[in-house]
Structure 1
Amino acid sequence: MLRFMPVGDSQTIGSAGEHTWRYRLWQHLRATYGGPFALVGPRETLYDKATDAPTSHAYADPDFPRAHLAGWGEGWLHMAPLIGGAVREHRADVLLVALGLIDLGFYTDPAQTAENAHRFVIEARTANPRVRMVVLPVVPNALAESDPGFAERVALFNDLLAKKVADLDEPRSPLLLASPPRSYDIHTDTYDGTHPNASGEHRIAAAFADAMHQAWGLAEPYDG
């Protein structure tokens, strides 16, 4: 049983009424991965905008393994202290990580954010020395389009993240940087410039799926 743990911020947890990219990836793996697998993690809910809390179970299609480690407004800063316990408790084999936008917007500069990503990797490996990780760079978003300073911070962090991934990659615990989602357009792939709509969910799922297929031969290229 291969155990995948999605880790992320608001783009990963999703909000009430959505499918989420987690669901899209699960569908893809179910159709193309030849062995048993599961999505695992300590949380299952969506964010509820009405209550401003992660309390919703109102998935567009709730019939899938909804476990994850994602939170609205949470970033590398928040997940680094949590990841070791989550990996250990849920016996995660593969971490699918989409973090950084929240950090850069509210908490840390690019260098500090990259150091928290470093800490995250070390904590995950302490819990499972053979854990595999796929990391998504910060994807296009409305703030980066409207604020040149923020766009520069995102670009710098993505460069630092790529260097961290290259430096920390090792054979027994591969660390893989996914390519940005193909043709991702905030005007057509999000509903508010930041959070993915259905097409955005497919594109983010494809970024993870294609990275795993190209690097590790896992499942098939994404078609959806």
Structure 2
Amino acid sequence: MLRFMPVGDSMTIGSAGEHTWRHRLWRHLCATYDGPFTLVGPRETLYDKAADAPTSYEYAEPAFPRAHLAGWGEGWIHMAPLIADAVRESRADVLLVSLGLIDLGFYTNAEQTAKNVEEFVTRARTADPRIHMVLLPVIPNIRAQEDAEFGTEVALFNELLAKAVADLDEPRSPLLLTSVPPSYDIHHDTYDGTHPNASGEHKIAAAFADAMYQGWGLCEEYDAESA
């Protein structure tokens, strides 16, 4: 049984009524991965905007493994202290990580955020020295487009993330860096300039699936444009 753990912020936990990219990726793996697998993690809920809390189970399609380690307003700085226990308890094999926007927006600059990436990787490996990780860069968002200084920090962090993946990659615990979805458009693929709508969910899922296919020969490429 191959165990995938989605790790992320508001774009990964999703909010009430959504499918989430986690669901989109699960459906793709069901269709293309030849072997047993599941999604794991210590949390299951969506974020309830009315309650301002992660208390909703109102998935658009709830019949899938909903486990994850994601939180509205959480970043690398929050997940690094949690990841070892989460990996140990869930016996995760592959971490699918989408973090960084919250860190850069509220907590740390690009260099500090990159240090927290290193801490995250180190702590995950203390729980399982053979853990595999797939990391998504910070994808286009309205603040990066409208705030030049913030956009510069995002670009720098993505460069540092690529360097960290290259430096920290090792044969027994490989790291993959996904591409930013090439056609991702905040006016078409989000509902508010940041959070993915249905087409955005497909494109994020595709980024993870395509990286695993190209890097490890796992599953198949994801046709997000016709999904």
Q: TM bucket by the smaller chain?
A: over 0.9
How far, CA to CA, are the matches of 1:66 and 1:193 in structure 2?
Answer: 25
SS in 1 for 2:96: strand
CA offsets per residue over residues 172-216 of structure 1, 9 Å max, x none?
000110001130000000000000000000000000000000000
1:28-67 matches, cutoff 5 A: 28-67=28-67
In the alignment, structure 1 residue 23 sits paired with structure 2 residue 41: no
How far, CA to CA, are the matches of 1:35 and 1:135 in structure 2?
Answer: 23
Q: Which residue is equivalent to 2:212?
A: 212
Contact kept, 8 Å, 1:141 with 1:186, in 2: the verdict is yes
How far, CA to CA, are the matches of 1:136 and 1:13 in structure 2?
Answer: 15
Q: Which residue is equivalent to 2:92?
A: 92
What root-mean-square deviation, in Å, do the aligned CA atoms of Structure 1 and Structure 2 show?
0.4
Q: Which residue is equivalent to 1:222?
A: 222
Contact kept, 8 Å, 1:75 with 1:101, in 2: the verdict is yes
CA offsets per residue over residues 121-170 of structure 1, 9 Å max, x none?
00001100000000000000000011000000000000011000000000
Structure 1 letter corresponding to 2:93: D
SS in 2 for 1:81: coil
Structure 2 letter corresponding to 1:58: E
Structure 2 letter corresponding to 1:2: L
Structure 1 letter corresponding to 2:51: T
Percent of aligned pairs with the same amino acid: 77
Structure 1 letter corresponding to 2:24: R
Structure 1: 4+ residue segments shifted above 4 A = none
SS in 2 for 1:194: coil
1:18-167 matches, cutoff 5 A: 18-167=18-167
Contact kept, 8 Å, 1:93 with 1:132, in 2: the verdict is yes
SS in 2 for 1:138: coil
Structure 1 letter corresponding to 2:14: G
How far, CA to CA, are the matches of 1:56 and 1:217 in structure 2?
Answer: 35
CA offsets per residue over residues 47-84 of structure 1, 9 Å max, x none?
00000000000000000000000000000000000000
For normalisation by structure 2, the TM-score amounts to 0.98
Consecutive unaligned residues of structure 1, counting only runs of 5 or more, are none
1:178-217 matches, cutoff 5 A: 178-217=178-217
How far, CA to CA, are the matches of 1:181 and 1:87 in structure 2?
Answer: 27
How far, CA to CA, are the matches of 2:52 and 2:150 in structure 1?
Answer: 25
Q: How many pairs are equivalent?
A: 224
SS in 1 for 2:189: coil
Structure 2 letter corresponding to 1:55: T
SS in 1 for 2:118: helix
CA offsets per residue over residues 71-112 of structure 1, 9 Å max, x none?
000000000000000000000000000000000000001010
CA offsets per residue over residues 18-55 of structure 1, 9 Å max, x none?
00000000000000000000000000000000000000
How far, CA to CA, are the matches of 1:219 and 1:73 in structure 2?
Answer: 31
SS in 2 for 1:6: strand
Contact kept, 8 Å, 1:182 with 1:207, in 2: the verdict is no
How far, CA to CA, are the matches of 2:182 and 2:20 in structure 1?
Answer: 17
Q: Which residue is equivalent to 2:4?
A: 4
Structure 2 letter corresponding to 1:142: I
Consecutive unaligned residues of structure 2, counting only runs of 5 or more, are none
